[in-house]
Structure 1
């Protein structure tokens, strides 16, 4: 297979960022200059788009219960620009998928026995810690636990 065919075979499975695609081609023995040329061809043809990749990854992570801080950190590891990351979050908001406080509450309701929250401060703290590890900010995490504690 040519380097362009290898790149295309990776892209038909899922979206890839430019650096990720270059790294995978290099791992398959493609010379760096040839890999850059192949990825440039994929970008020109519309097969590879970092903005589309960012939006896809953000949507995927949000739907699996990750918060905005974790999503932003992961997007940054792909060497995406601030504008691309902002556009990915704007796409989430445009689709109505960026209600982070509601997402946090839903995640807690699936994960914990929220009926026990009022009488169990250790469980509440555990729930807050869980949300913080998933990438929600402290205000959202504490707010979600408070909202479920009073329901």
Structure 2
């Protein structure tokens, strides 16, 4: 049975339940509460209070999301796009990517190693296939090119 979100206590409880599972961005959390039937006024008040109390933090959400997606083998271009689609500010996204301390070059090599066992492409078709995979994962084309040409050795 679904709870009716028609008062501040119910909206806050629903928001806290969602935040207990994982970090959320303000826009994403607002969307989920709206889907559950809360009015915009109740959502704004609840989210403002949660932010003041430090329970809702865009910075924490960005840090968590970037770290999780990078560990899953995704590159900065894909992560940036996903965060933009979630309604976060471009400047905040860029700052989170810089502050993450992730070596994207190493991430690329690790993702490629796991998928292709460190086997460089033997022909143009295989090179294109590996390049498409890594590009889809969100890695910059210049890093992909250097890796697949074998000129990436440090």
Q: Quick one: which of 31, 35, 57 aligns to 2:43?
A: 35
Which residue, out of 53, 58, 61, partners 1:45? 53
Question: Out of 4, 15, 22, which is 2:30 matched to?
Answer: 22
Conservation of the 8 A alpha-carbon contact between 1:66 and 1:134:
yes
Contact 1:65 1:103 in 2 (8 A): yes
- Once the two structures are TM-superposed, the CA of residue 113 in structure 1 deviates from its matched residue by 4.1
Determine the structure 1 residue equivalent to 2:111.
107
> In the superposition, relative to structure 1, how do residues 23 and 118 fare at CA in structure 2: closer, same or farther (>3 Å)?
closer
RMSD between aligned residues: 2.0
Counterpart for residue 142 of structure 2: 139
2-side partners of 1:50 and 1:113: how far apart?
Answer: 37
Structure with bigger helix share is 1
Aligned to 1:2, what secondary structure does the other structure show?
A: helix
1:104 CA displacement: 1.2
1:118/1:149 contact within 8 Å kept: no
Question: Which structure 2 residues correspond to residues 36-115 of structure 1 after superposition, within 5 A?
Answer: 36-93=44-101, 97=102, 99-115=103-119
- Number of equivalences: 146
**TM-score, normalised by the number of residues in structure 1:** 0.87
What are structure 2's unaligned runs of at least 5 residues?
Answer: 1-8
**CA-to-aligned-CA distance 1:69-99 (integer Å, 9 cap, x gap):** 1111111112222331122112212xxx2x2
Shifted more, 73-82 versus 133-142: the winner is: 73-82
Moved more, 80-89 or 65-74: 80-89
